A and B are shown apart, each in its own frame.
Chain A
Amino acid sequence: MSGNTIGGPETDGDAPSGAILSTEGLTKQFGPLTALDDVSIEIPDGGITAIIGPNGAGKTTLFNTFTGKHAPTEGRIEFDGQRIGGVEPYEIVRRGIVRSFQITNFFSSLTALENVRLAAQARYTGFGPADFLTHHASHEEPIADAERVLERVGLDGVATETASSLAYGQRRHLEVAIALASEPRLLLMDEPTAGMSPEETNETVELIEDIASDTTVVIIEHDMDIVMDISDQIAVLNEGKLLTQGTPSEVQSDERVQEAYLRGGGHE
């Protein structure tokens, strides 16, 4: 794991080798509000990067620019050496950036298996005659992929149950499974442990570490114990600016971070 790549707000230009995603001068404005202000960040290839910061720091907006939901107002985003600013969300998924959502955001009347199969199908389907004229269940690959992913997140026992009937922790895992079915190279997870019991949280942390063994993971997380425990890299956002980026111990000892958290307050 390349946990020692240090980039900061003052670093611009050449991405150090090993960055899977980098931004340069990334700015996003919503009318008069500047949600992201000149952010230059590097996500190292492999391992877990945590993005932390007080509420309203711009963490979710940063995710939204990575996934194509918001086009940047200024600046550039590069994924795997290619610019992705302004690229449509579905195209970004195909290139390998996939996100999971904080609130469960799936297809609630479909079965768990079908939720995941639908995501897996995107990698196989197009607009050819077979995509219109064959039965979806006659395509083996998406089903096999979906079954494998469900097993990985521990939902293989409830594959045929309707998504809306699953327990809270299972729903959150289904959410992750849908994202994994797209076979991401970079997985963005928005507060994966929010609202979970300690037991569910432990399971989820294990799952994230398992995923990170073959996928680059970026998480937005408020629980500092988890962040310090699992992250290889931490990036701190405050008021739309990148305050600092570094290893957990570097970030922990950074005075600016402590100051921002004290001023911003409001975190458990």
Chain B
Amino acid sequence: MMPVFELLRDDDEARTGNQILSRPGRILLAVGILGLAAAGPIAGSIQPFWVNLLVRMLAFALLALSLDFVFGYAGLLSFGHAAMYGAGGYTAALLVGQVTPNALVVLPASVLVGVVVAALIGWLSVRARGIYFAMLTLAFAQLLYVVVFTDLPATIAGAETVTGGDNGLYGIGSYELAGVGFGDPLAYYFLTLALVALSLAGLIRLANSPFGRVIQGVRENEDRIEFIGYNVQRYKVIAFAISGGFAGLAGGLYVPFQSVANPGLLHWTVSGELVVMVLLGGMGTLWGPMVGAGLVVFLEDRLGGVASWEVILGTLFVLVVIFAPRGIAGALISLRDDPSGAVDSVKEALKNYVREVRD
């Protein structure tokens, strides 16, 4: 947790008028993380199932965070983040199942595989821009999905099975660390929370680093950034690879907890839902998409049985796009800056919308 503390007392003032997350914001985040740490045991004492839901919310929050780093931050709309998520998940499944349950070995391996897959996809895709970039990442992710679904590695290696084909891999055990097992959901929850908090701290640090400033410049004005002396393609590939590492970690945390890895992890619908989570939460804020992801996973679990989940998610998405175009984070920020103005702008948005629909 050290980087979290270091982040809080970040002494480098925002001299450039361009810092991600001010000090009050950092303190709020730390309070939120401490609150989540307290929420785990409380939820567990009420009903063990709630811990399970919290872990899934955290895993998706991490995945949304990784996407926001390239999408909201570097301006790269990836429609293929399920590829890195699934690759990290399968890596964990295979290693825990056949090599070692040591979290210190498996989780770094998941990160590394996420980085490698993302670097490859990124390298092949970054020359395209906008929607073409999105389509290329989607295509590569679906390609990987098919590779896993048809168990291509087994065919090539002549083995009976590697990925388990459409059934996937199941009965995967939990992690161990220095002789301590994480079979208990609450212990797993704390492991996940610690890693998610570290990841958030790390990505905020990256976003404020010289590298982070450059990729923000790429989002702002890609043409100009090249003419002030930056190798845009290389910055994009590296940003994408970093993001892939965190997506891989999310997969590595999700799979052993569910004890199942199936091809559905890599399906394009995961990537699509992820984009919705980021937009819902408020892209470019890092914490917003995490809130969005947690909310979507929570609602899907709670309301999935009430009506068709796609209908609920679709309605929620439409409402947010109309009334809070900058997502939950954007709405909260404008509420803080100008409470009465925020309410007025909601009325304004509703009026405009009704008028546009009528015309």
Contact = CB atoms under 8 A, between A and B. Distances in A.
Pair from one complex: yes
Interface of A: 67, 88-91, 93-94, 98-99, 101, 105-111, 113-114, 117-119, 121-125, 127, 130-139, 143, 160, 178-179, 181-182
A113 B230 CA distance: 18
Given A125-B210, A125-B211, A135 B223 contact: no
B214 interface: yes
Q: Which of A90, A127, A133 has the most CB of B within 10 A?
A: A90
B128 to A, nearest CB: 18
B229 A105 contact: no
Given A109-B220, A160-B17, 13 more contacts: A93-B227, A106-B221, A106-B224, A111-B17, A118-B214, A118-B228, A124-B210, A125-B214, A132-B206, A133-B209, A134-B210, A137-B15, A178-B224
Interface of B: 10, 12-19, 205-206, 208-214, 216-217, 220-221, 223-232, 234, 238
B15 A107 contact: no
Contacts of A113: 16-17
A136 to B, nearest CB: 5
Nearest to A119: B228
8 contacts: A90-B226, A93-B229, A98-B227, A110-B18, A111-B18, A114-B18, A133-B206, A182-B229
A7 B227 CA distance: 29
Contacts of B212: 136
A125 B229 CA distance: 10
B209 A181 contact: no
A90 B13 contact: no
Contacts of A130: 210
A130 B15 CA distance: 19
The 4 closest A-B pairs by CB, nearest first: A122-B229, A93-B229, A135-B12, A111-B17
A89 B228 CA distance: 9
Contact of B19 (A121, A127, A137): A137
A114 B227 CA distance: 16
Contacts of A110: 17-18, 216-217, 220
A51 to B, nearest CB: 18
A182 B17 contact: no
B213 A136 contact: yes
B13 A137 contact: yes
Contacts of B205: 133, 135
A235 to B, nearest CB: 22
A89 B226 contact: yes
A127 B238 contact: yes
A256 B206 CA distance: 58
Contacts of B224: 101, 105-107, 178
Contact of B214 (A121, A135, A137): A121
A143 B15 contact: yes
B69 to A, nearest CB: 12
A134 B230 CA distance: 19
B227 A137 contact: no
B16 A111 contact: yes
